[in-house]
Structures are given as structure tokens and as C-alpha cells.
Structure 1
Amino acid sequence: MTRQIFLDTETTGLSPESGDRIIEIGCVEMVNRRLTGRHLHFYINPQRPSHEDAVKIHGLTDEFLADKPVFAALADEILDYCRGAEIIIHNASFDIGFLDAELRRLDKGRFREHVDGVLDTLVMAREMFPGKSNSLDALCRRLEVDNTHRTLHGALMDAELLAEVYINMTRGQDALLIDADGSDGDGAGQGVDAVAIDFSAFELPVLQPTPQEAEAFEKALQDLDKASGGKVVWKTMEAVI
């Protein structure tokens, strides 16, 4: 059984080293590439005010968070939920930095010590789409994941979107992604970032040649054989077969 957890956080600011804290955590569980519906979601009292710019991104005010539980009260439940799973995060260094800082305050070690590994989808996306914008919004557009309801950042919503993005990024050869606009990823392209062609939806018929077409084809092969002095490649291949 392969168990994966898609995780996202919202924070009071950008720097755990400067005392910024986690204010929201959202997790989505997937087992054997199927979403289970078993989510984990908490709003958290950070015990400090959020930066004004951060509030503009996630919309979680100090007043809203004032009566929420502190991280210390939730840490064991969060770790129990994540334990033994592969954790998938977009821009993992950011979220892991905050989780490590929170756990360090509680003498619970580092986050990676409690899980089966961490996969960063931002690193994956940069390898798959070099030179493109690889934010979560950009990947949603490129991989045709509907994010029209995402007006503000939210940890659970972003974890759910990331799960869909990851499934589309890792679906193998069932579909082919083709850049359609040739943009450099700065959002200035005039068209859609990608066109997804799902080959499983097609049944390709096999058309047999008519007798006249088969005769014309054979004559063309004879002409090629004559023009090459008997050095055509297909005769060598037929001999091997």
C-alpha cells in the first residue's frame, strides 16, 4: 500500500527564524493513487499577529484565529496522521521550515523524522517544465485543474488542488502534454499553457489497402530497389525476421 499525504500551510509571515508561526494546516490523503476523503484541517492560534501582507494572501485575521487551538495542542494529532506516509508539498522547504520550528519548540525533533519521506512538487515541475512559471496556479492552468474557486490561499484547498496537479503530473503515457503558446512562463502568453491529449479516448481503425493501392505500393518499392542498386534496407530486415 502506497500512502501519500498532500500538505499545505498558511503562516503569519515568511520567516520562522524571525518568529513567524503556522496559522493553518491542511492535509489530503491518497492511498494507491486514490483520494480517500480522509482529510486533516486545522486553524491555529499563532500567539502573535500576522503580517499585513500575509493576511492579504490568506485572509485569516488575528481576530478569527484568537479562539483557535495552539499548535502544541494539535502536534500529536498532526504527526500521527502523517506518520509513515510520503508527504507531498509544493515548495517543501517553506512548509518544512515552519513545521520544524513548531516541533522544535515542543522538543519533538524534525518533521522528516516522523514521516516516510518528503516529495517537493515544485522541484518536479521545474524538471518537467523548465523555464515556465511553476506556481500552483500556473500548474493548475497547464494541467487543466479547475482552480477558479481559489480567490485566497487556503491550506486545505491548496492541498486538494496539489493532489489533482500531482495525479496529472504523474499519469504516465496515458496523455501527452504539448505546449501550445510557446510562452516563457511569465503569464504573458496569449493562449492556454498546454493542451492535454488523452489517447485512451481514441480507437484507431486499421485500414487495409485496396488491390490497386497495394499494387502501386509494390511498384514503388521495386522502383526504389532498382534506383538504389538493390541496397534497400527493408529486404535486409525481412531476411532477419
Structure 2
Amino acid sequence: MLAFDLVIAVAYFAIPLELLYCFLWYPFPVRAKPAIVCVLFITFITLCALTHLVRAFGLESAVPVITGLCGVISVLTAVMLLWLIPELFKLAKSLERERSERLMLENFQATLKDAVEGPEEKMDEASMNLMKAIPYCSNRQLRAMAAAKASLARMFRSKSVDVKMADGLKMMPEKVVLPINHLFVIVADADVHAQHSEMLDRMSMQIAKTFRDADSEV
């Protein structure tokens, strides 16, 4: 029993040290709830280690005291986890959304690049016809704007987000207008913009950059 209790005690002491290392050195913002739960869990594991340690050395008189403290801390940890778990689900959902939006932005950037550098016949004819009415634009710029318009329609699966000419744009209720440059804007439904505001801002900047880069003909 001495050897087994010593091995278990060492493992239990190692776990809180490893958790402390991750918690203190990993670069993420520390919030109150995770910090409290982490401290409680580290305390619980440390008390478990002490329980096995005192048993290994035959200090049976200390076991009830340590076991009692361990019981109190374990209950508090369980209660705090119930408080924390909903936020963990929210965090997981937020991380998944960030990953999804990052992939969408990468695909969007690749689509614009392909539109500028690829064959013209790949572009949507309806979008091209609309954009050809804009003066002072090269064919590459027109193809980039047509690609942006078509890509946004595919990604949001509706006309809730569109690329329009800035000139003569009328006021539209429940719409948000994001400027691209002096010629074009992104028009989005207010609820869609509320959900994807950062991504739409980045898309607007990406379109503007591609438009500038495509200024001259190849």
C-alpha cells in the first residue's frame, strides 16, 4: 500500500502543477469564473494527494481532517462547474464560428484572386453586365467586383448581402451600407450585419484592395 499511495500522491501533486503552468503561461485572457474553478480543482487534487501521502506514511489521524476538506472543496468545484459549463459551450460555439468565418474569408479572397487572374468566361454574365456600366474600370476590376457580388450571394444564400454602385444609391430601411471605395458599396440586411459585422468589414477591405491591385490590365 505504501508504494501505491506514494505513486498516486505524486501523480496528484503533478496534476495541479501542470494545470497551474498552463493557466499562468498559456496566452489567453483570465476571467473570474475559469480562475475560481481552476483554483478549486487544483485545491481538490492537492488534498487528494495529501490524503494518499498521509496514508502512505501511516499518519491516520490526519486523514479525517484532509478528507473532510477534500469533500467540501469537491462539492464547491462541482457547483462551480455547473456555473461555468454554459460559458464553455458559448466559448466553443464562438471558436467554431471564428473558424468558419476564417474559412469563408480565405475562400472569398481566393475567389477574388481567381476572378482577376483567371479566364473571363468563368465569371457570372449577369453580374458582369451590371458592372460593365461603370466607367473608368479595367476588365480585371470589373471581374473582381462581379466575383465579389456573386460570391457574397453564394455565401449568404440570399440577396441579404449585395455589391451595388455607390452613385445614386437610395436610402434603404433595415439595411447597412459598407463603403468599398468611391464607386461601390456592400449593402447588407441589418440582422445579417449584426451577426457578421467584422467579417463583412474585412470583406469590404479585401474587395477594395483587390480592386486597387487590378487597376492595370495584364
TM value normalised by structure 1: 0.21
The structure whose Rg is larger is: 2
Between Structure 1 and Structure 2, the one with more strand by share is 1
Higher relative contact order (CA 8 A, sep 6+): 1
Between Structure 1 and Structure 2, the one with more helix by share is 2
